[in-house]
Amino acid sequence: MLKQLRTVAAVALLTVTTYAVAVEANGTHPETYVVKKGDTLWDIAARFLKKPWLWPEIWQANPQVQNPHLIYPGDVLSLAYLDRVTPQGQVEPGPRQDAPINAVPLSAVEPFLKNLNIVDSFKELPYVVSLEDSRLRASAGQQAYVRGLPDTQPGQRYMVVRPTVRYGQPKPSDDLDARGDATRFSGNLWKSYVASSDRSELLGYELAQVNLGSVTHVAAGEAGVATLLLEDSGREVRAGDRLVPVQAQPYDLQFIPHAPNTTLADGDIRVLAVTDTFTSGGPRDVIAISAGARDGIDNGTVFSIWRSGRHVNDQVAGMASSRADDALKHGAGRVAMPDEYAAHAMVFRTFDKVSYALVMEGTKPARVGYKLKHPDAQ
């Protein structure tokens, strides 16, 4: 028994020591810090650490912290272990009058938590076939007529969603038309700025909420049309929009920044899109990435984003067979340049094959097609 206790103690000491070595303080720091309303886990970690994604190691190494996911304004946190000593300070609880702090600002990610979803298919969903008075668009207080709801009942509420983007690889995304089909004649321009990928698959369709409504009447017959009274004055509904039942969709905000739990193959995960249809984004912009739960990605996972090293013509050697410079692929007379670091991003919502992440900080914009690596990649 004594031998077993010695073994356990040794393992515990090694664990704390490992955590301490991994943690690098970001300059000087006080012995304690009082959590304030408006703080985020990332902000606190970035204030005192050079690597904010090491938050789990910090608090798992501190036995006074019972739940690192629940830290409230007013909590007094010990920072003694940043000096690589065994933690002795106490973590004092705050008054618990406010909600626990989040990993990132809620305002930056809330629309992507509430109003967007990624699905494998949508063609089977009920759809708006026409609008009141044959309108082209309809909003709150107006009626939409829906096909595909034979079993619905008056009073049942639905969310009106619109398929907007098809995500895939090697082509990162396609805009969708009113029928939900990929926009034609998009061409191959994407190949000029997105590095090639060995992956070739459909990753999912993005459904964006445009309105809410309640069923007021259902026509008889198998192909009966249901009347939906729209309730939201936000975005307008059009023919071709789809319907899904309104249901509670709890989303996770109590997560902590951490490095990936799985090993990443170089170039296997890419930036698929940037919010607001831009091709590049900076801090507090949301990006979609080509990995999800099936790849071992979960909320809080932190990545570094890199520009793939280009292949440039060697002007001195003068052996280039092509005038193309700064190319994505190798060619005769071209020299491969190293990858370039752009930014860090943290995942805040995960689907099966696609995730949304928030760009946290960086040295240059994160662009569509850039690849993701471990946050400590050099």
pLDDT band of residue 333 (cuts 50, 70, 90) is confident
Q: What is the number of other CB atoms lying within 10 angstroms of the CB of residue 191?
A: 14
Which of 69 and 65 is assigned the larger pLDDT? 69
Looking at the predicted structure, is the pLDDT value of residue 239 above 50?
A: yes
Torsion sign (Cα): 117, 122, 125, 126:
positive
User: Per-residue pLDDT tens for 9-34?
Assistant: 222 322 333 334 345 655 566 777 88
Strand locations in 120-200 (E) = 127-131, 143-147, 157-169, 173-175
pLDDT band of residue 99 (cuts 50, 70, 90) is confident
pLDDT band of residue 59 (cuts 50, 70, 90) is low
Q: What is the pLDDT of residue 106?
A: 83
Which of 26 and 67 is assigned the larger pLDDT? 67
Over residues 47-60, the mean pLDDT reads: 76
**302 in Cβ contact with 258 (< 8 Å):** yes
Q: Is 206 helix (H, G, I), strand (E, B) or coil?
A: strand
Report the distance separating Cα 281 and Cα 224, nearest Å.
Answer: 46
pLDDT band of residue 310 (cuts 50, 70, 90) is confident
What integer best gives the mean pLDDT of the chain? 80
Report the distance separating Cα 48 and Cα 93, nearest Å.
Answer: 20
Over residues 41-58, the mean pLDDT reads: 80
Q: What is the pLDDT of residue 205?
A: 96
Among 325, 296, 299, smallest CA distance to 312 is for: 325
Q: What is the number of other CB atoms lying within 10 angstroms of the CB of residue 103?
A: 27
Which of 373 and 191 is assigned the larger pLDDT? 373
Q: Any idea which of 112-126, 234-248, 317-331, 337-351 has the lowest mean pLDDT?
A: 317-331
User: Per-residue pLDDT tens for 144-184?
Assistant: 999 998 888 999 999 999 999 999 988 888 888 888 888 87
Q: What is the CA radius of gyration of the chain?
A: 25
Looking at the predicted structure, is the pLDDT value of residue 208 above 50?
A: yes
Which of 47 and 364 is assigned the larger pLDDT? 364
Over residues 99-126, the mean pLDDT reads: 88
Q: What is the pLDDT of residue 1?
A: 31
Q: What is the pLDDT of residue 197?
A: 63
Looking at the predicted structure, is the pLDDT value of residue 349 above 90?
A: yes
Among 48, 94, 90, 41, smallest CA distance to 346 is for: 41
Q: What is the pLDDT of residue 21?
A: 38
Q: What is the pLDDT of residue 178?
A: 82
Q: What b/e string do you get for 61-84 counting C-beta neighbours within 10 Å, with b at 16 or more?
A: bbeebeeebebbbbbebbbbbbee
Q: What is the pLDDT of residue 243?
A: 96
Residue 338, preceding peptide bond in cis (omega within 30° of 0): no
Q: How many CA atoms lie within 13 A of 249 on its CB side?
A: 13
Q: What is the pLDDT of residue 82?
A: 53
Q: What is the number of other CB atoms lying within 10 angstroms of the CB of residue 226?
A: 25
Q: What is the pLDDT of residue 16?
A: 33
Full-model pTM: 0.82
Q: Any idea which of 15-19, 56-60, 222-226 has the lowest mean pLDDT?
A: 15-19
Going by the DSSP 8-state scheme, the letter that residue 83 receives in this structure is G
